[in-house]
A = this chain, B = another copy of it.
Amino acid sequence: MSNGVNGHHNSSEGELFLSEAFKVILEEAVHKATDVKEKVCEWKDPEELRVLMDLELGDHGESHQQLLQRVRDIARYSVKTNHPRFFNQLFAGVDYHSLTGRFLTEALNTSQYTYEVAPVFVLMEDVVLRKLRSLVGWSEGDGIFCPGGSVSNMYAMNVARYWAFPQVKTQGLWTVPRLAVFTSQEVKLKKCFCIFGRMIPEDLEAKIVHAKSQGAVPFFVNATAGTTVQGAFDPLDRIADISERNGIWMANSCTWNPHKMLMAGLQCSVFLMRDTTNLLMHCHCANATYLFQQDKFYDMSLDTGDKSIQCGRKVDCLKLWLMWKAIGAQGLANRVDIAFASTRYFVEELKKREGFQVVSEPQFVNVCFWFIPPSLRGKENSPDYQEKLAKVAPVIKERMVKKGSMMVGYQPLDGRVNFFRMVILSPQLNHSDLDFFLDEVERLGNDL
From known contacts A88-B117, A111-B91, A198-B171, infer whether A45 and B6 are also in contact, taking CB-CB under 8 Å.
no
- Given the complex of chains A and B, what is the CA–CA distance between A148 and B112 in angstroms? 12
- What 1/0 flags go to A271-314 for Cβ under 8 Å of B? 00000000000011010111101011111001000001111111
Does the CB pair B108–A229 fall under 8 Å? Answer: no
Does the CB pair A99–B108 fall under 8 Å? Answer: no
A436 CB–B CB distance under 8 Å: no
- Given the complex of chains A and B, what is the CA–CA distance between A89 and B66 in angstroms? 33
- What residue in chain B is nearest A229 (Cβ atoms)? B290
Distance between A94 CB and nearest chain B CB, rounded to angstroms: 7
The residue from B8, B9, B265, B429 contacting A109, defined by CB atoms under 8 A apart: B265
Does the CB pair B411–A289 fall under 8 Å? Answer: yes
Does the CB pair A312–B266 fall under 8 Å? Answer: yes
- What 1/0 flags go to A152-186 for Cβ under 8 Å of B? 00100010001000000111111001110000000
The residue from B8, B81, B117, B148 contacting A89, defined by CB atoms under 8 A apart: B117
A247 CB–B CB distance under 8 Å: no
A118 CB–B CB distance under 8 Å: yes
From known contacts A46-B299, A106-B102, A115-B46, infer whether A289 and B75 are also in contact, taking CB-CB under 8 Å.
no
- What 1/0 flags go to A64-108 for Cβ under 8 Å of B? 001100110011011111100000110100111101101110111
Tier of interface size on chain A: 35 or more
Please, which residues of chain B bring their CB within 8 A of the CB of A428?
Answer: 3, 8, 11
The residue from B2, B329, B338, B427 contacting A59, defined by CB atoms under 8 A apart: B329
> Which residues A117-166 have CB closer than 8 A to chain B?
117-121, 123-124, 127-128, 131, 147-151, 154, 158, 162
Stretch at the interface among A18-26, A218-226, A233-241, A370-378: A18-26
From known contacts A107-B99, A173-B197, infer whether A67 and B148 are also in contact, taking CB-CB under 8 Å.
no
Does the CB pair A265–B106 fall under 8 Å? Answer: yes
The residue from B158, B188, B341 contacting A1, defined by CB atoms under 8 A apart: B341
Distance between A412 CB and nearest chain B CB, rounded to angstroms: 6
- Given the complex of chains A and B, what is the CA–CA distance between A326 and B193 in angstroms? 41
Does the CB pair B312–A77 fall under 8 Å? Answer: no
Does the CB pair A109–B266 fall under 8 Å? Answer: yes
Please, which residues of chain B bring their CB within 8 A of the CB of A170?
Answer: 198
Distance between A119 CB and nearest chain B CB, rounded to angstroms: 6
The residue from B3, B11, B46, B313 contacting A302, defined by CB atoms under 8 A apart: B46
A383 CB–B CB distance under 8 Å: no
Distance between A175 CB and nearest chain B CB, rounded to angstroms: 9
Does the CB pair A321–B7 fall under 8 Å? Answer: no
Does the CB pair B148–A311 fall under 8 Å? Answer: yes
Please, which residues of chain B bring their CB within 8 A of the CB of A216?
Answer: 174
- Given the complex of chains A and B, what is the CA–CA distance between A189 and B341 in angstroms? 49
The residue from B30, B192, B398 contacting A107, defined by CB atoms under 8 A apart: B30
From known contacts A18-B26, A25-B107, A147-B151, infer whether A53 and B120 are also in contact, taking CB-CB under 8 Å.
yes
Does the CB pair A321–B57 fall under 8 Å? Answer: yes
- What 1/0 flags go to A420-434 for Cβ under 8 Å of B? 010000011111000
Does the CB pair B99–A60 fall under 8 Å? Answer: no
The residue from B78, B123, B328, B341 contacting A49, defined by CB atoms under 8 A apart: B123
The residue from B15, B158, B409 contacting A290, defined by CB atoms under 8 A apart: B409
Does the CB pair A194–B409 fall under 8 Å? Answer: no
- Given the complex of chains A and B, what is the CA–CA distance between A108 and B75 in angstroms? 7
Distance between A178 CB and nearest chain B CB, rounded to angstroms: 4
From known contacts A58-B328, A91-B109, A107-B25, infer whether A119 and B197 are also in contact, taking CB-CB under 8 Å.
no
A116 CB–B CB distance under 8 Å: yes
| Top 7 closest pairs, chain A to chain B, by CB | A7-B331, A14-B96, A190-B286, A147-B147, A174-B178, A29-B107, A7-B334
